[in-house]
Amino acid sequence: MNLIEIKNVSFSYNDELVLKNINLTIKKNDYLAVIGPNGGGKSTFVKLILGFIKPTKGSIKLHTQKLGYVPQYTNFSLDIPITVLDVVLQGRIKKYKFFYNEEDKKEVYEKLKLVKMYEYKDKKISELSGGQRQRVLIARAMVSNPDVLILDEPTSAIDPQGQKEIYDILKSLNITKIMISHDLNFLLEGVNKVAWISKTLVLHDAPDLHLHRKDGHFCEIDFINEVHKCKVSND
């Protein structure tokens, strides 16, 4: 079942072409990794799917309105006094919903347990580590029971142990996932499709990439070369 269909999408900003002729279909339960160089258009790609910006050309068809979004935790001011519980409850807000009820709280507790943050529910968000904050944001995105979870570099500026915990949580979620990351290690964490975005998009089924670890890490150069070879052959 197709959840998102992107057809011939291009996007320009101030006359500069950011994305060119993107085609992609995201199916139910896909785990799509979005990788590529800085400034290659990864964030723009995600913003297009979320509807924050409109494509200059082409169309994006969403077969669900239930999108969950996990931004980078580093985008937030830690000065705002807010507890973990209040942050996760935000995932239950809707346009014309102004107050939370018991069902909302029940759902929040369930998702906090899922990300192993229940015992921190009354803590201030600023008292948590980066990894813990990111788990709270995953819980916030999950409380609306979305069909698609979109994550923007959820492991940036997080220590390896924290990253591993987040990957394990994501792997356990039986849901369609789209994740931007600079960390190629997560490609072995259940990802089934890889989109390399650098103005254009090159799609790979992850198992076809013959990724290997070197000293516990992916050999990024090999991977990029592989993608590049595919891109050349596609052209």
Partner 1 sequence: MIDIITLIPNSFYASFLISIAVAIMGSLIVINKSSFIAGSIAHGSFGGIGLAIYFSLPILLMTSVFAVFLALILSYISLKIPHRSDAVIGAVWAVGMSVGILFSELTPGYNAGLISYLFGSILTISNEDIYMMIGVDTLLIIFISILYNQILLISYDKEFAKVRGLNVGFLYTLLLVLISLTVVMSVRAIGLILIIAMFTMPPFIAEKFTKSLKGMMILSGILSAIFMISGIFISFYFDISATATIILVATTFFFLSLFKK
Closest approach, Cβ 45 to partner 1, in A, equals 15
Residue 91 near partner 1 by CB under 8 A: yes
The one-character DSSP state at 63 is S
Residue 192 near partner 1 by CB under 8 A: no
Could you tell me the two tokens for 184? 């190629």
List 93, 114, 173, 202, residue binding partner 1 (CB under 8 A): 93
Give the span between the Cα atoms of 82 and 75, in whole angstroms. Answer: 15
Give me the 108-147 binding string for partner 1, x by CB under 8 A, dash otherwise. --------------x-x---------------x---x---
| Residues 128-159 as b or e (16 or more Cβ within 10 Å = b) | bebbbbbbbbbbbbbbbebbbbbbbbbbbebe
Number of residues in contact with partner 1 under rule CB under 8 A: 30
Beta bridge partners of 26: 4
Nearer to partner 1 by C-beta: 51 or 160? 51
188: helix, strand or coil = helix
Residues near partner 1 (CB under 8 A) are 50-52, 67-69, 71, 75-77, 79-83, 86-87, 89-91, 93-95, 98-100, 122, 124, 140, 144
